[in-house]
C-alpha cells in the first residue's frame, strides 16, 4: 500500500476551511485521514454531494497524493433542505434567470482556487442516473448527497455495489439519536449496509461512519 501523508498543507487547509459548505473542520480532517488509508490500486475516490466544493477540498489533495482522482457527483440543484423556504437555503445560490439553485459555478471556483482541477472531476447529474451507468470500482465512496428517504435509499442501492472489495464506504450525517439530526443516512444507508453483511464498521467519528467492504 502507498504511504501517504495524512495532513493537509497549510495552503490546502486554508482552502478547505475557507470553502463554503457543510463539512465541519474536524470531520473534514477525519475524512482526509480515512482517505489516506485507502489502497488506490482498488480504484478512484468518489463523493456523492459536492455542493460548493468543501469536502472535495479535504479529499482532493489526498486523492492527488495517492496518484488517483476524486469524482464529485452532484446535480447542483440542491437537496430538499436547500430549497427556498427550507432550513438550509442560501438565496445567493439561486440562478436568477432560471429561479433554480445552481451550485456548479461555486463548486468550480472553489476547486480552481484550491488548485485541484486536475484531480477533482465534477460529474453533473442525478446521482442514481450516474450510478446506474457507472462501472469503475471505487477505493472510497463518500455519501453526502440528498438526505431525504428516497435519495438516501437510492444512494445506498445504486452506489454501494461500486465499492471495491476492501474499499471504504464513508457516510456523512449519520445520527443514531433523532435528537441530533435527520434519520435517512442512518436508516437508509448505514443500517442497510451493516445488515447486508457486505460491510463492517471500522470507525465512527462525529457523524461520519466508515465501513469496509468485505474482500
Ligand atoms: N459535501 C458537501 C455538502 C453536500 S450537500 C460539503 O462538503 O459541503 C448535498 C448535495 O447533494 C447538494 O449539493 C445537492 O445538490 C446534492 N444532491 C442531493 N440529492 C441529489 C441527487 N439525487 N442527485 C445528485 N445530487 C444530489
Ligand atoms: Mg453532510
> For the segment 170-179, what is each residue's pLDDT rounded down to a tens digit?
999 999 999 9
pLDDT, tens digit, 9 for 90 and up, residues 64-102: 999 999 999 999 999 988 887 877 778 899 999 999 999
Residue 194 CA, chain-centre distance (Å), reads 19
Cβ contact 189:171 at 8 Å:
yes
The Å distance, Cα 145 to ligand 2 centre, comes to 7
For residue 148, give the ligand 1 atom closest to its CA: 19
What per-residue confidence (pLDDT) applies to 83? 80
Q: How does DSSP classify residue 185? A: I
More confident position, 180 or 1: 180
What per-residue confidence (pLDDT) applies to 117? 98
What per-residue confidence (pLDDT) applies to 4? 59
Mean pLDDT on 29-58: 98
The Å distance, Cα 128 to ligand 2 centre, comes to 18
> Catalytic: which of 76, 147, 162, 172?
147
Name the H helices within 122-210. Answer: 127-133, 149-159, 184, 191-195
pLDDT, tens digit, 9 for 90 and up, residues 99-147: 999 999 999 999 999 999 999 999 999 999 999 999 999 999 999 999 9
Question: Is any ligand 1 atom within 6 A of the Cβ of residue 145?
Answer: yes
What per-residue confidence (pLDDT) applies to 2? 47
**Lowest-pLDDT range of 86-95, 139-148, 158-167, 182-191:** 86-95
Q: Which contiguous run of DSSP H or E holds residue 107? A: helix 104-113
Query: Does residue 5 have a pLDDT over 70?
Result: no
DSSP collapsed to 3 states, the chain: CCCCCCCCCHHHHHHHHHCCCCCCHHHHHHHHHHHCCCCHHHCCEEEECCCCCHHHHHHHHHHHHHCCCEEEEECCCCCHHHCCCCCCCCHHHECCCCCCECCHHHHHHHHHHCCCCCCEEEEECCHHHHHHHCCCCEEEEEECCCCCHHHHHHHHHHHHHHEEEEEEEEECCCCCCHHHCCCHHHHHHHHHHHHCCCEEEEEEECCEEEEEECC
What per-residue confidence (pLDDT) applies to 84? 79
Query: Does residue 169 have a pLDDT over 90?
Result: yes
Amino acid at each position: 500500500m502507498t504511504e501517504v501523508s495524512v495532513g493537509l498543507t497549510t495552503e490546502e487547509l486554508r482552502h478547505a476551511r475557507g470553502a463554503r459548505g457543510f463539512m465541519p473542520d474536524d470531520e473534514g480532517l477525519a475524512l482526509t485521514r480515512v482517505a489516506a488509508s485507502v489502497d488506490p490500486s482498488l480504484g478512484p475516490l468518489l463523493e456523492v454531494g459536492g455542493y460548493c466544493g468543501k469536502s472535495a477540498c479535504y479529499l482532493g489533495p489526498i486523492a492527488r497524493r495517492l496518484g488517483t482522482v476524486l469524482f464529485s457527483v452532484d446535480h447542483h440543484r440542491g437537496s430538499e433542505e436547500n430549497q427556498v423556504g427550507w432550513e438550509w437555503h442560501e438565496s445567493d445560490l439561486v440562478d436568477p434567470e432560471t429561479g433554480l439553485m445552481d451550485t456548479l459555478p461555486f463548486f468550480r471556483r472553489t476547486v480552481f482556487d484550491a488548485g485541484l482541477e486536475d484531480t477533482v472531476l465534477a460529474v453533473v447529474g442525478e446521482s442514481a442516473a450516474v450510478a446506474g451507468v457507472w462501472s469503475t470500482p471505487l477505493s472510497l465512496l463518500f455519501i453526502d448527497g440528498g438526505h431525504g428517504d428516497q435519495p438516501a435509499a437510492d444512494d445506498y442501492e445504486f452506489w454501494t455495489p461500486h465499492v471495491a472489495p476492501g474499499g471504504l464506504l464513508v457516510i456523512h450525517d449519520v445520527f443514531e439519536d433523532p435528537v441530533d439530526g435527520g434519520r435517512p443516512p442512518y436508516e437508509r444507508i448505514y443500517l442497510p449496509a451493516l445488515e447486508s453483511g457486505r460491510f463492517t464498521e471500522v470507525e465512527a467519528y462525529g457523524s461520519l461512519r466508515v465501513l469496509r467492504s468485505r474482500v
